[in-house]
Structure 1
Amino acid sequence: MSTIGFIYPDHAAEDDYPLAERLLGGDVRLPVAHIYGTDLHAVAELLDLGSPARLTEGAGLLARHEPDAVVWACTSGSFVYGWDGATQQVAGLSEAAGGLPASSTSFAFVRAANALGLRRVAVAASYPDDVAALFAEFLGKGGIDVVSMSAADIDTAAEVGRLDPEAVVDLVAGRDHPDAEALLVPDTAMRTLALLDRIEERLGKPVLTANQVTVWEGLRLAGASRAVPGLGTLFRTGA
């Protein structure tokens, strides 16, 4: 039995994790610990949300589950620190978790794209422009070229979490670009796991979403990667 612990900010789309657990089968547990701060998509607030004190609190909450790895399940609360700062953030999380392997959603996007051999992507972000631009910069540091960036200018994670499935599909699929090899959808507040195959079929290319890559990264860290249907190209390949 592999156990991957996720630190999730506030409440929005955390039900993607039990859905992933069901799809992955009975030998994986994906417990979620919640930390709380403002859910505003603004730089100062996101820096506070991903602070060492908050992640240390989350690691403590996960300890009772005895995880094999821990992941900070927040894209904006990691890339807002920049590449070097996000690296330090993950190192601090690992230390707070007793030396366990650790990562964040931002690094999960880069590693998932690399696993699929992707170099040119479009981004469908829920954030305001200034925050979305920081994600594009982070991807660039990871060797990924953003050929198109769309920002939906949604102010809070709670608003994103209230989007119905049709609104999510329209928001995501309408922001593809013909030069992109894949479409990336940051924001773990957006429910996407149940929609992945549908969106990929519509676009005809891989789609990487925040909760999807976060789960994939946790499995990678725990040495529990596997191929499974229903979670998009990334999981069908077993990369």
Structure 2
Amino acid sequence: MTTVGFIYPDHAAEDDYPLAEGLLGDVRLAVEHIYGTDLHAVAELLDLGSPERLAEGAQLLAPHRPDAIVWACTSGSFVYGPEGAAEQVAKLSEAAGGIPASSTSFAFVHAAGALGLRRVAVAASYPDDVARLFVEFLAAGGVEVVSMSSADIDTAAEVGRLTPEAVLDLVRTHDHRDADAVLIPDTAMRTLALLGDIEEHLGKPVLTANQVTVWEGLRLAGAGRVVESLGALFRTLSVPVGAGGR
């Protein structure tokens, strides 16, 4: 059985992963946690995604013998910028014994490419300055952001407490008519159970952080799956390509 390992920061919406595992059926999604501040601020996010913390996560995942590993944190990866984030996953791969590695930020870029998306709207939970770094990261990956909103939520714990109705409202009110899709970039937000309702309402693809993170791990492991309830991204098989920023 294919096993994909995920390093998840603190606790918020990690229950999206066993939900996905149940839908996938024959793939194991192993989640281990690292801890630091959950503040959405640049200095704290740089510390959270440091090589030392991710190496700790890789060590915790080692007994699961994963076929691929993903840093399941968007802000703790894009805050490094494209080159820094590529170095981050390269070091993570090294710490994990050379298995393929990536992060949620690269997962968004790869998922957008897989769906042929070029113009997107971003419905971010972060403060504005952090959300703008995500916009810059996407632009470097060839994804144009035509609209960006920031809910200005300071911590991941607060995001994890959002009700399904609040998440749906966030997405519905921050779509843009020129966007090919809406992106929701926070792994602290529970979204997997809502994907069908959101896409049906908007009439376009929606990419969420935990969704693309799971998809990226499967892609790296060469274990793509079709799961109708996980949105447009999971309705066709992914084609394995290079890890991380390559």
TM-score, reference length from structure 2: 0.96
Query: Which AA in structure 1 matches 2:24?
Result: L
* Superposed displacement of residue 238, structure 1: 2.3
Question: Could you say which residue in structure 2 is the equivalent of 1:7?
Answer: 7
Alignment of 1:149-188 (within 5 A): 149-188=148-187
Encode CA deviations 1:125-169: one digit per residue, 9 max, x unaligned.
000000000000000000000000000000000000000111111
* Contact kept? 1:12, 1:161, Cα under 8 Å: yes
Mapping of residues 1-239 of structure 1, within 5 Å = 1-25=1-25, 27-239=26-238
Count of paired positions: 238
2: CA distance, partners of 1:138 / 1:106: 8
The one-character-per-residue Cα deviations of 1:176-196 (angstroms, maximum 9, x if unpaired) are 000000000000000000000
Question: Partners in 2 of 1:59 and 1:71 — Cα distance?
Answer: 9
Distance in structure 1 (CA, Å) of the matches to 2:231 and 2:88: 28
Q: Distance in 1 between matches of 2:92 and 2:173?
A: 36
Match of 2:243 in 1: none
List per-residue Cα deviations over 1:93-135 (Å, max 9, x = no partner): 0000000000000000000000000000000000000000000
What per-residue deviation string (whole Å, max 9, x for no partner) do you get for residues 191-214 of structure 1?
000000100000000000000000
Measured after TM superposition, the shift of residue 237 of structure 1 is 2.0
Gaps of 5+ in 1: none
Once residues 213 and 173 of structure 1 are traced to their aligned partners in structure 2, the CA distance between those partners, rounded to angstroms, is 19
**Which 4+ stretches in 1 moved above 2 angstroms?**
none
The percent of aligned pairs where both chains have the same amino acid is: 81
Q: Secondary structure at the match of 1:31?
A: strand
Give secondary structure in 1 for the equivalent of 2:56: helix
CA distance in 1, matches of 2:11, 2:225: 28
CA distance in 1, matches of 2:217, 2:126: 24
Alpha-carbon distance in 2 for matches of 1:197, 1:220: 22
* Deviation of the 1:174 alpha carbon: 1.0
RMSD: 0.5
Decide whether the 8 Å contact of 1:228 with 1:238 is kept in 2: no
Whether the 8 Å contact between 1:116 and 1:234 is mirrored in structure 2 is yes
- The residue type equivalent to 1:95 in the other structure is E
Deviation at 1:53, TM superposition (A): 0.4
